[in-house]
Chain A
């Protein structure tokens, strides 16, 4: 007798090969972000080669940077900043956005109008500009970066969650619960949240991509993670001098960003339709 395992396939959670590869790449960078500093072949801050902007070689698989430091080590240790800061920011942004969005949808009326108007105003400031202004005013540190990124992406998450929640809030089961006399908090927790969770999580993934891009953009402008630490955007910035002769040190950190962001996009595109469908 064959033993039947509840594999993802049996549960209808089929992930096609593209999605699988994407998931593996994401998992790889997640692991590197955690254990990166312990597995770097060289200390990331140490000058290991006389040749700056060195080419790809067996010893330095990603070449060396403008001071002759090992790029592989620097990219691996940069993963912690790029992934960590972005993840923290997206968590805060989406939690705030979803809670506010559901509250606005359930309560409605003036509460809805005020929250919507305020967040609309925040999203009327171009994201990079917002980062620029805040960092110019109070300087750059990791908590400030997380806060800026979270504030920039809260309105988008809010709008998405609110649109979904408004649709759910008109459903008869929510009306039945209202007529039963349920409190707002119960409506949000038990009736709305479970029914928007799938699309909201998918949206969170997309927003994570935007956060990674904005963080690396700010770092590239010198407003993100400050030396001696470096995320992937800062690595591109400090090695820009090598661009005119095509040094790998300029390209490798960009490639790292691209593998992560493209994988997240591909994973979400290839999610089972029943999660994604409702998000469209």
Chain B
């Protein structure tokens, strides 16, 4: 007898323009008691929608069309709202993607955690509080007795995510839904949270649905994996089966995209080495009001120096708040540093973009993370790419048109796309247009700020391949900023690790793990999930790692 059964589920939605679309196209799946099932897929695959249907909930604009969702004997589709409410929190519980938004900012954490017990009259309040403290302890939260007295904005993101899990576990549910619970977290925080989730789920014997886009994370926690795409199930099987013997081509493309080919040192690299093309020297920078000594309120970079050699790529890796994006902004002249200089080809650049010459600006281009916001939605693709041509090269007429066609071809986009608007393109296509716009300037250096982070794995891998190709053809050098170790390893020659606005160490990309000396970089590298089912367990048993974690 399965705990939950979904049979031929169809869900529809109405788009902004009033068009009806089917977002879930006949999905059937089972969840056995105590089993953890992962729903994996890219954005738009319908994984969260399916998970929420287990609670009888659909988001605004969506509706059940047909099929059944049976949880513990109750059909959540046909049940009335009162019956659904009775199930929520007690039989099925939910851990949201962003705990920061899921907690009511005006109420104490403890009151929100025990609310489920209160709503369903499960136990006296004192008992519920004591139980909550036990769960806090099981989730390895610091100061479990008192953390509940704080307000949501007074605890860290990783702690909040575990508190959200506590909120779900308080009603002893038979099924817990985790909706991308670690996606917004840094890798070192993700480890703690994952470890906590895994131990409570295993000890509690609860069934779980783990929604994620990250195969490596899912491999650590799930018994069974279901691969989704476009609202349909592509493949399902045990975690080992999926990781080691995937049958469906889509699953295989997900797996292969996970580990892009490492950059192979090329023979001509040696010829192209032409000294240092971009250098940052002792850069200190920050944000906020400036004090008497000219130092800003919040310092984001402390005396950061780095060098990029011509034809080579420098990776900058670090967690949120490490200052890696600030470094890019300083290099591009968007944020004038307090002290220190940026030099391009041996000549010092002015700190502000306004004071740099057009020629200097042309040679150094920047590409941003979110393809959606990096293109002006009101400008056609051709105009976006063409602006640098007009601005830097004063091109017009036939030469201008020919160059746009050439640039689109360079990033493997059809020439007809120049008349489209950004809204009509996919994320990967937009990121290619972004690249084409940077290439239009004929730059020597491109600053890539997390350019693959918002893309789905397969698409990101293709963009990385494109970057490598372009480098070969155009003799470019990249500064590649990312929080994702595998992409940095795939494209960079050197990797600079940053932490709290300081450079931890700079290492050759080949053999990062062996070369790392600093405890923080070791911890960071070790925390990146691997496509290996036993990885998390082995890691947490590793005394070196545990010590580094504690020292963090």
Direct contact of A and B (CB under 8 A): yes
* Chain A nearest CB, measured from B197 CB (Å): 34
* Chain B nearest CB, measured from A232 CB (Å): 37
Whole-angstrom CA separation of A175 from B335 in the bound complex? 11
Q: In the complex, which residues of chain B have a beta carbon less than 8 angstroms from the beta carbon of A190?
A: 376, 379, 387
Q: Which of B99-107, B367-375, B455-463, B529-537 is found at the contact surface with chain A? A: B367-375
> Contact between B17 and A274 (Cβ–Cβ < 8 Å)?
yes
> Contact between A180 and B377 (Cβ–Cβ < 8 Å)?
no
Determine which residue in A14, A176, A178 has the highest number of CB atoms from chain B within 10 A of its CB, and name it: A176
* Chain B nearest CB, measured from A56 CB (Å): 42
Whole-angstrom CA separation of A190 from B387 in the bound complex? 11
A273 nearest CB neighbor, chain B only: B16
Q: In the complex, which residues of chain A have a beta carbon less than 8 angstroms from the beta carbon of B354?
A: 181
| Binary contact readout A238-280 vs B (1 if CB under 8 angstroms, 0 otherwise) | 0000000000000000000000000000000000111001000
| Binary contact readout B90-123 vs A (1 if CB under 8 angstroms, 0 otherwise) | 0000000000000000000000000000000000
Which one of A14, A181, A274 lies within 8 Å of B361 (CB-CB)? A181
Whole-angstrom CA separation of A224 from B142 in the bound complex? 69
Query: Is residue B150 contacting chain A, with contact meaning CB distance below 8 A?
Result: no
> Contact between B377 and A172 (Cβ–Cβ < 8 Å)?
no
> Contact between B353 and A179 (Cβ–Cβ < 8 Å)?
yes
Query: Is residue B356 contacting chain A, with contact meaning CB distance below 8 A?
Result: yes
| Binary contact readout B312-355 vs A (1 if CB under 8 angstroms, 0 otherwise) | 00000000000000000000111000000000000000000110
> Contact between B334 and A178 (Cβ–Cβ < 8 Å)?
yes
> Contact between A274 and B377 (Cβ–Cβ < 8 Å)?
no
* Chain B nearest CB, measured from A112 CB (Å): 15
| Binary contact readout B370-398 vs A (1 if CB under 8 angstroms, 0 otherwise) | 10011111110000100110011000000
Q: How many residues of B contact A (CB 8 A)?
A: 31
Q: In the complex, which residues of chain A have a beta carbon less than 8 angstroms from the beta carbon of B373?
A: 171-173
> Contact between B377 and A179 (Cβ–Cβ < 8 Å)?
no
Query: Is residue A191 contacting chain B, with contact meaning CB distance below 8 A?
Result: yes
Q: In the complex, which residues of chain B have a beta carbon less than 8 angstroms from the beta carbon of A195?
A: 376-378
* Chain B nearest CB, measured from A168 CB (Å): 9
* Chain A nearest CB, measured from B449 CB (Å): 9
Q: In the complex, which residues of chain A have a beta carbon less than 8 angstroms from the beta carbon of B332?
A: 179
> Contact between A172 and B334 (Cβ–Cβ < 8 Å)?
no
Which one of B356, B358, B368 lies within 8 Å of A176 (CB-CB)? B368
Q: In the complex, which residues of chain B have a beta carbon less than 8 angstroms from the beta carbon of A172?
A: 368-370, 373-374
A171 nearest CB neighbor, chain B only: B373
Query: Is residue A194 contacting chain B, with contact meaning CB distance below 8 A?
Result: yes
* Chain B nearest CB, measured from A269 CB (Å): 16
* Chain A nearest CB, measured from B190 CB (Å): 26
> Contact between A181 and B356 (Cβ–Cβ < 8 Å)?
yes
Q: In the complex, which residues of chain A have a beta carbon less than 8 angstroms from the beta carbon of B358?
A: 181
Determine which residue in A14, A175, A190 has the highest number of CB atoms from chain B within 10 A of its CB, and name it: A175
Can you list 28 A-B pairs, Cβ within 8 angstroms, ordered by A?
Answer: A14-B18, A171-B373, A172-B368, A172-B369, A172-B373, A173-B375, A173-B376, A175-B334, A176-B366, A176-B437, A177-B387, A179-B334, A179-B353, A179-B361, A179-B365, A179-B366, A180-B361, A180-B388, A180-B391, A180-B392, A180-B441, A181-B361, A182-B391, A190-B387, A194-B378, A194-B379, A195-B376, A273-B17
Mark B residues whose CB is within 8 Å of A.
16-18, 332-334, 353-354, 356, 358, 361, 365-370, 373-379, 384, 387-388, 391-392, 437, 441
Mark A residues whose CB is within 8 Å of B.
12, 14, 171-173, 175-182, 190-191, 194-195, 272-274, 277
7 other A-B residue contacts (CB within 8 Å) besides A14-B18, A173-B384, A179-B366: A172-B370, A179-B333, A179-B353, A180-B361, A180-B391, A180-B441, A277-B16
